[in-house]
Amino acid sequence: MSDISIAFIALIAVNFGIKLWLNFRQASHVARHCALVPVAFNDAITLEAHQKAAAYTLAKTRLANVGLVIDTSWLLLLSLGGGINLIYVAAAGLTGQPTGLLTGLCFLLALGVLSSIVDLPLSLYKQFVLEERFGFNRMTPGLFITDLLRNALVSLVIALPLLSLILWLLDLATPLSWLWAWMGWMAFNALLLFIYPVVIAPLFNKFTPMPESEHKQKLDALLSRCGFSAAGLFVMDGSRRSAHANAYFTGFGNNRRIVLFDTLISQLSPEQLEAVLAHEIGHYQRKHLQKRLVLMAGVSLVLLWTLFQLLNAPWFYADLGVDYANPATALALFSLTMPLCLLPLTPLSNALSRKHEYEADAYAAEHSNAQQLIAALVTMYRENAATLTPDAMYSLFHDSHPPAALRVQHLAQLQA
């Protein structure tokens, strides 16, 4: 076994150890603080609701540990275990071509299908056992299968042209192939962001314009006051699948819209809903989507350049257990191994996301009502069984939103 192979195994072990350690910290911290509701939430959340959130968090953490073992085993099986070789040989046998674009596409498609099959048992357990146990599941087996098939079809339609372009450009191996691949990747993402709200999302959920009412008029007045023009306010039938509630801002240009889950509307008062809407507008006004796109552009540029440098590096294939050196196997290996290297950067990404959440909260406090947003957040924490006492280190790596206590404290300071 080469030094690089040993280093690769060590990298996997370190990632596994860090993630397991973080999960252990989270479980221990939540369990230690489940007997008392944090003082800041005493008036709004009962001990029963707090303990339900703790039990839900512990159950999800245990499931995450199982998922971690499965994912790590799958990575080792595909790389050093020779799995990529077996899949590639099967793809080449199917196409009758030892190399080429068609063989590469078949290989990547087969790898994606097999990875989805590996993930399926845990997805089924999470949806129909864990979520059911805590009263959140509203999905039927039929809808689960329908979603699975639709996801597969949409992924196929999206992935085939993009992968074809990237594999073709990488196969050309010109000095600027990586740059052209990056430009294609960014153009594709811009197109996807534009069409997602009106083409892809409606394949899975029903989106209806918020019906006219006095409350709707107040929300429209808020939009006008904040200078936000969009395709409209839409209500999504999230209750078909889950009792969880949320709201989000999506799209750009003429397809820009704000989406409210029907479960959220049923849980919040009109004043609280207005504060949540102001928060979503804050993301738009502070240009958070554009900033994330710029960050993604920079990261993807570096990653594609790195992939291009590894294309003709024999050690990248041989020392990671792959016998076939070509753009398709390089892309697969890179996609499987790069998350291991990027783990230390996760807190930085989450820190930026949290900064954006604080900025959107500040915008909502200025243009709506901080106290109503606090009330809305507390209601969402309670109804979604979100833990109020996450471990700080775990939160750095896993939470894109600030912990409940810090977020409420920040809003209270803005109100003062």
pLDDT at 303: 96
pLDDT at 136: 97
Is 212 part of the annotated catalytic residue set? Answer: no
Rounded mean pLDDT of 230-256? 87
DSSP conformation letters of 239-279: GGTBS---EEEE--GGG-EEEEEHHHHHHS-HHHHHHHHHH
pLDDT at 257: 86
Confidence of residue 217 (pLDDT cuts 50, 70, 90): confident
Quick one: angle between helices 101-125 and 83-95, nearest 10?
Answer: 130
Taking 90 as the threshold, does the pLDDT of residue 218 lie above it? no
Is 280 part of the annotated catalytic residue set? Answer: yes
Tokens (6 digits) for 268: 């919040």
Confidence of residue 416 (pLDDT cuts 50, 70, 90): low
pLDDT at 26: 99
pLDDT at 82: 97
pLDDT at 234: 92
Taking 90 as the threshold, does the pLDDT of residue 319 lie above it? yes
Domain ranges of the chain: 1-416
pLDDT at 228: 83
pLDDT at 166: 95
Distance from C-alpha of 399 to C-alpha of 416, rounded to nearest angstrom:
27
DSSP conformation letters of 304-316: HHHHHHHTT-HHH
Point out the catalytic residue in the list 131, 274, 280, 391.
280
Q: What is the pLDDT of residues 82-115, one digit of tens each?
A: 999 999 999 999 999 999 999 999 999 999 999 9
Tokens (6 digits) for 195: 């069409």
pTM value? 0.94
Looking up tokens 């291991």, which residue turns up? 340
Strand partners, 242: 137
Point out the catalytic residue in the list 71, 319, 361, 391.
361
Taking 90 as the threshold, does the pLDDT of residue 232 lie above it? no
Rounded mean pLDDT of 37-41? 94
